[in-house]
Chain A
Amino acid sequence: MFTYQLIEKEHEIVVLCEGDIDIDAGDVIEEDIQPVLSLHNRIVFDFEKVYFVDSSGIGLIIRLVSDLQEAGKAVRIEKIRPEVTEVFELLQIDEILGKQVFE
C-alpha cells in the first residue's frame, strides 16, 4: 500500500511518501502525484517511510524523476532508508538520475 501527502513550502513542494513502491503504486504516482507536481519547480520526495522498492517501483521512480527533470524541475529524494539505499546502489540510481538528486 502506497500513500502520500503533499506539503507546500515557500520555495518547494515536499511529497511525503509512505509504504511500498511497487507495481501497485503506479496509478497513484502517474495519475495523482505527477500532475500536481507539474505546477512546482523544486520538488522533494521524502522517503523516510518507504520501506520497500521492487524492480517495478524502481522503473516508476526513474520515469517520474526523469520526466520532472526533463520539464526543467529540480528534484531531490531525501531520507532514504538503508534497505532501500541498497537497492538504489545496486542499480546505480544516482548514475541514472544524477547525483544531485540525492544530495
Chain B
Amino acid sequence: MGILIVDDSKLNLLYLKGILERAGYSKIRTADCALGALQILGLKDGNPPRKPADVDLILLDIVMPGMDGIAACRTIKEHKVYADLPIIFLTGNRTMFKEAFNAGGMDFIEKGSPEFELLARVKSALKLKKEMDIRKNREMKMEKELQLAKHLQSSVLSLPIVNDSIRIHGKYIQSDEVSGDMFYWAEVGRNKYAVLLLDVSGHGLSAALISMSIRSLLDGLVGRLIDPHSVCEELNMKVLNLFKNSKHTVYLTAIYLLIDLETRLLHYFNAGHPPALIFSKEGEIRQLKGTTIPIGIKKDIRGNVQTEPIDRLSKILLYTDGLIEQPGLSMKESIFSLGSYTQEFQHLSNEKFVEQVAKLAIRETDDICIISVDLKR
C-alpha cells in the first residue's frame, strides 16, 4: 500500500522513509511541502482527479513554510475521492492538536517517538484503509447489482396498449430497493383483455425474487386460461407448489380483470388487494367490491369472481398499497382520498392520468404500481 510522507525537513523525510522501508513498505513517496503533496494527489489545480492517486496513508508535518499541514489536510479532505484517506500528523508539540483533528486528521505521531510507535500507528491506519476499501468496493458492486436487478424487473412489465376501444397504461415507481410489485396485461382473444396487478408480501430482494418467478408463469397461465376463476385457482396452486418447501409464508395479493369488449362485461377477482376504483362516464367513482383470500395461503380458494357491465364506465384504476399508506389515515380514508384526488384528472388522456396519480407516491420505502384502463370509445 502506498504511503506519502510530507515534511519540509529533508532529514526527517529520509529518516521516516528509512524506518518504513526497513519495515517492508516499498511504495513510499515524499514531498517537502504541502503543494508538492497536493501535486502528487492530483489536486494542484483545485480539481479532483477522476481516479485517486495510489496513496493509502499520508504522514503530514504540521509546521511547514507556505501552506501548513492543517490547511493541506483540510484541502485534501474537501475532495470526495480522498474522504477516506487516513492522514497522520507529525508534530513536535501538542498545541495544534484540536485544530489538526478538526481538519480531518485521524491520528498523530510525536516527532522523536520510538520506531515501534510509528510503525504501529502506520500499520493500524493502513489496515483500516484496506478494510474500508474492501467495504466500499463491495457496496459499489452491490449497488450495481441492485441497479441491474431494478432494470430487469421493470423490463418485464407490459407495454401500453392503445387502440380505438381501450387504452391500458401502467407505472411502476421503484423504491430504493427492489420489491415485489408487478403488473401484466395482454390481449387474450378478440376484443378481450386480461390485466393483472400483484403485490408479493414483504419487501426487498426476496419479494422481488418471488414476483419474478411468478412473472415467468404468467404468459402461459393467463394466455391459456383467461377465465378469472381458473386463473385464480391455477395461480394459487402454482404459488403453493413453488414455495411449498419454504419455512416462510409466501403469499401475494392480486387483482385480475378480464375485460370483454364484445359482451361489454368486466369479470374480475380480487385476492386481498385494495379495491380498484371505477369511474363512470358521468364522473362518479366507485370501488370494485368483493374479495377473496390472498394467493398462496390455502389450497382451496374461491375466486369470488364478480361481473360488472362496462358500458357506463370510462376508467378503471388499479394500484398497490404503497399508494394508499398515508400516515395518520386509515386505509378506508386513504382510498376515499385517492378517489377525490383522482376525480379532477379523470378526463385527462390515460397516460397523463397515470402520471398525475403517480404524483401521490411520496413514500420511498415501498414500490408502487398503478394501472389505468381507459374504456372511452
Contact = CB atoms under 8 A, between A and B. Distances in A.
Give 6 closest A-B pairs by Cβ, nearest first.
Answer: A55-B201, A59-B249, A91-B272, A56-B202, A63-B249, A86-B331
B297 interface: yes
Contact of B272 (A63, A82, A86, A90): A90
A28 interface: no
Interface residues of B, number: 22
Interface in A17-73: 23, 55-56, 58-60, 62-63
A82 B291 CA distance: 19
A74 interface: no
B248 A55 contact: no
A95 interface: yes
Interface size class for chain A? 10 to 19
Nearest to B304: A92
Interface of A: 23, 55-56, 58-60, 62-63, 82-83, 86-87, 90-92, 95-96
B86 interface: no
Contacts of A90: 272-274, 291, 331
A96 B272 CA distance: 11
B298 interface: yes
A87 to B, nearest CB: 7
B330 A96 contact: no
Contact of A59 (B199, B202, B330, B332): B202
B291 A59 contact: no
Contact of A58 (B201, B203, B330, B331): B201
Contact of B202 (A23, A63, A83, A91): A23
Contact of B291 (A86, A92, A96): A92
Nearest to B199: A55
Nearest to A60: B249
